Amino acid sequence: MEGRRRFAQLLIFCFSLLMLVVVSAQPLHHLPNPHWYPATATWYGEPEGDGSDGGACGYGSLVDVKPLRARVGAVSPELFKGGEGCGACYKVKCLDKSICSRRAVTVIITDEGPGWYSSGGRTHFDLSGAAFGRMAVAGYSNRLRNRGVISVIFRRTPCKYPGKNIAFRVNEGSTDYWLSLLVEFEDGDGDVGSMHIREASSSEWLEMKHIWGATWCRIGGPLRGPFSVKLTTLSTARTLSARDVIPRNWSPKATYTSRRNFFT
């Protein structure tokens, strides 16, 4: 009996150790924080307008067309994160039941908000007029906008771009010795924590540097395409690689679309 009991204990220990190894080998992907947090919100531009033209993230005219159109927002520094928060998506909901609807508006971070609203560590959203008005009950959009600064709650939400794959814009001024990229239409986290490129003739991933907004660059060379691009999200460290997405004869100001996204 004693021998059998020890053998059973040994089996349980070995099984537990095996499960620990298996679980440890799996990538840990945490969903965005589901909790709501307090903030303030304002709006800018035209009352029914799309918001900023461009913004500190560097998306340029992309903010004026769907799917970003009228869903853009500027945020305070703790959410902007020096530009690494660009592309993240949030749900924002106002609180006054007499004028606010129960639905939240989804906004994509494309800009950094004015500093005076964020004094004292406050979290602030500066929304397009259209996005701000959508938080009101039907027929009360103008009345809500007339209030100026309002109290809201917010939380992270996965970005969703149905039918679109991640794209990489080669920024103006890029050369064989200075390659600058911007990520577009990233499902899921939306943000970027690191980026690497790999030349077709090499197995080495070259680290890119974050320089401003949503822009990353690689200095050195000469760099020879085609290039594969690997990005890692800031929020959950998920990684996606797009093989040879930028062709050998790439051009500055051109956008190259991959065959992949985090939800496809």
Residues 146, 144: Cα–Cα separation, whole Å? 5
Residues 187, 202: Cα–Cα separation, whole Å? 28
* Superfamily of domain 167-257 in the CATH hierarchy: Expansin, cellulose-binding-like domain (2.60.40.760)
Per-residue pLDDT of the chain (264 residues; tens, 9 = 90+): 444 444 444 433 333 333 333 222 233 344 456 789 999 999 887 777 656 666 788 887 665 566 655 577 889 988 999 999 999 999 999 999 999 998 899 999 988 887 666 556 789 999 988 889 999 999 989 999 999 899 999 999 999 888 889 999 999 999 999 999 999 999 999 999 999 999 998 999 999 999 988 899 999 989 998 999 999 999 999 999 999 999 999 999 999 999 988 876
CA-CA distances (angstroms) from residue 60 to 116, 169, 171, 199? 24, 11, 11, 28
Name 187's Cβ contacts closer than 8 Å, sequence gap at least 6.
158, 159, 160, 161, 166, 261, 262, 263, 264
Do the two domains 37-156 and 167-257 of this chain adopt the same fold? no
Q: Is 99 exposed, middle or buried (0-12, 13-18, 19+ CB in 10 A)?
A: middle
Which secondary structure element, helix H or strand E, spans residue 48, and what is its range?
Answer: none
Topology of domain 37-156, CATH: Barwin-like endoglucanases (2.40.40)
Q: Where are the domains of the chain?
A: 37-156, 167-257
